[in-house]
Chains A and B, each alone.
Chain A
Amino acid sequence: MGQIQAVLFWMSGVVTQSIPAVLNDILQAAGRPLVHWPALPEFTQAQEQFTLGQLSDLEFCRRLSPLTGLEEAPEELCQKMLSTFAPQPLTLELIRTLPAVIERWLVADLPAAWHEALADRLNLQSCFAPERLVFLGQSELPRLVPDVYYYLSRCAHREAGNCLLVDPMLRRAMEAINHGFPTAHYVNPRLLKQEFYLRGFTGRTTLNHKPEQVL
């Protein structure tokens, strides 16, 4: 495993809320029951196609509408989703603490038009330079896993072993590791901070395994 030179952050679910979280916020506001989206094959399949640009945002929302039980037109659902997306402020703060020698890349799994609409509102430019954005919707990949790992390391102009992926989906993260790509599963800022620390990105000179003195 080489020295990590670039960290690639998945956009939805790491830098911003995930699509399931956005949809559940919309359902909650409408007083509807929440849905465990990852368990719905119709959703996961549509999300992958949306991520890869195989479905337009309108078509994606058209597929989602019956699953939400809401009576909104796809155009309205699109607008609602865009205005609902919230940043993960503590995560963004943490990303800014990475030393300059480590390149920060954003893996945009939302269409370029959505990214454009969100970038200003969520202040994403403060973390990611415009030349370090990868739009998966423009990748022309036929499938996400495992193709995306190879695609991302090529986009970052690095060997796979020099890139760390930060992915909000555990199954995908474990699959990436099985393909030899250093990967962290994003759960929350506490665990991401620990990951950065353990990998020596931030504030570690030696590993300290001693638990906190509590007695």
Chain B
Amino acid sequence: MIVSKQILVQSDGRFNVVVLTDQVADFVRESGIQTGQALVFLQHTTGVVIIEEYDAGVLADLKDMFERLTPSAYPYKHHLRGVDYNGHAHMRLALMQPAVTVPVIKGRLALGTYQDILLIDDQVEQQPRYLILQVTGE
């Protein structure tokens, strides 16, 4: 069986972090699937979905790392098109990916003790963010 759902997250971007764990856990429970996998997929190219410990220090370090590797203020070629100026967010997506998959065992997300599912939205302005949650299994 495959159960899918699209969710909308309000975010004001610029490294906005949203904890998705409880929402995904509820969706898995409601799906009734006992054994399988849950996919969390961001339908945009300026954010990432990761599994991390939720700690403001980890997030501050992550932001520092992003700034070192892909600075927000940099003349990205993407900006030459003149449509938008979010080259850093596209580079971060290429480094981190827009989706995670978590095993579902006994009807629950088999996350480790300190693992949370996080959306990091790096869009440069406030935009609605859409994600697909999909549970596959039996």
Binding site for B on A (CB under 8 A): 36, 38-39, 170, 173-174, 176-178, 183-185, 187-188, 190-191, 194-195, 198, 208-212, 214-215
Q: Which residues between 123 and 138 of chain B lie within 8 Å of chain A, taking CB atoms?
A: 126
CB distance from A100 to the nearest CB of B (A): 26
Interface size range on B against A: 20 to 34
Residues of A near B22 (CB, < 8 A) are 188, 190
Which of A39, A176, A185, A214 meets B110, CB within 8 Å?
A214
Q: Complex formed: what's the CA distance from A171 to B22 in Å?
A: 22
Residues of B near A178 (CB, < 8 A) are 60
Select the residue from A170, A178, A188, A210 with max chain B CB neighbours within 10 A.
A170
In the complex, the chain A residue whose C-beta lies closest to that of B110 is: A214
Q: Complex formed: what's the CA distance from A187 to B16 in Å?
A: 13
Contact B59 A170 (CB under 8 A): yes
Q: Complex formed: what's the CA distance from A208 to B112 in Å?
A: 11
Contact A184 B56 (CB under 8 A): yes
Q: Complex formed: what's the CA distance from A44 to B126 in Å?
A: 14
Contact B56 A36 (CB under 8 A): no
Which of A39, A194, A209, A214 meets B106, CB within 8 Å?
A214
Q: Complex formed: what's the CA distance from A36 to B111 in Å?
A: 30
